[in-house]
Amino acid sequence: MLEVSGLRKVYEGRRVEALREVTFQVDAGELVCVIGPSGCGKTTLLRCVAGLLPPTAGSVKVAGAAVTGPPPRMAVVFQEYGRSLFPWMTVRQNVELPLKEKRMPAGRRGELVAGSLAAVGLADVADAHPWQLSGGMQQRVAIARAVAYEPQVLLMDEPFAAVDAQTRADLEDLVLALWRDTGVTTLFVTHDIDEAVYLGQRVIVLSGSPTVVMEDLKIDLPPERDQLTTRSLPRFADLRGHLYAQIQRARGDR
């Protein structure tokens, strides 16, 4: 579904090589996490995959089609929830706007908006403005907007980096539940090793800058994940320890 091959990005003005050679793929319906040491170009990678940033070399393909700009059936949840929602619109209007742009009939639009707001537990605040909600709730709005858009591929850029730990656990379970329900191919970028192991079917480990793929690790945990039991499995600890060592190595390489 998503193929990234030989992706390279050099920022011209600064002559910084952010990505050297990144190659991986994500099959339809998979949930894959990307981790790496801080400053390793995770966001650059995501922006290239999203078509927001032209790569210097290499290619990104979604369902076989090369990405040259934001693909029509791709949705993104950004880290900065406070800046990715329109403050002058209500929660409902925020979720609805992309659907209006798709020229979707009003009836179907209403169903999708109501359905996705209910799915993230925000049905009762549809007429509030985003700034009236807590950070975790704002990120739920952004997730609802992405889900209502019915994407083929969902990108998430460290979506829970700025919320507190409890909210974060809730949101992780929300993402898992939505992913199971919709089967949307998901690429989840995070700097949190635990989060990557908990959510992912696979974890792609990036090296320090200039970035290459260090490891493509299958997460062989039972498919049903639970904050308490999954995280206390010995295998969880093994995977976590392994990835931790990898990240330390990546940092040392620099």
Binding-site ranges for another protein (CB under 8 A): 47, 50, 52, 69-70, 72, 74-76, 78, 80, 83-84, 86-89, 97-98, 100-102, 129, 131-132, 145, 149
6 vs 70 by CB, closer to another protein: 70
Shortest CB 250 distance to another protein, Å: 27
130 vs 200 by CB, closer to another protein: 130
Distance of alpha carbon 77 from alpha carbon 157, whole angstroms: 6
138 vs 201 by CB, closer to another protein: 138
Tokens representing residue 77 in the block:
């949840």
Shortest CB 157 distance to another protein, Å: 10
Shortest CB 88 distance to another protein, Å: 4
Shortest CB 132 distance to another protein, Å: 6
Shortest CB 96 distance to another protein, Å: 11
155 vs 214 by CB, closer to another protein: 155
Tokens representing residue 138 in the block:
């704002």
33 vs 154 by CB, closer to another protein: 154
Contact 4, 58 (CB under 8 A): yes
Spell out the long-range contacts of 25-28 with Cβ–Cβ below 8 A and sequence spacing 24 or more.
Answer: 25/1, 26/1, 26/2, 26/153, 26/185, 26/187, 27/1, 27/185, 28/1, 28/185
Shortest CB 220 distance to another protein, Å: 33
35 vs 77 by CB, closer to another protein: 77
Which residues neighbour 103 within 8 Å (Cβ) at sequence distance 6 or greater? none
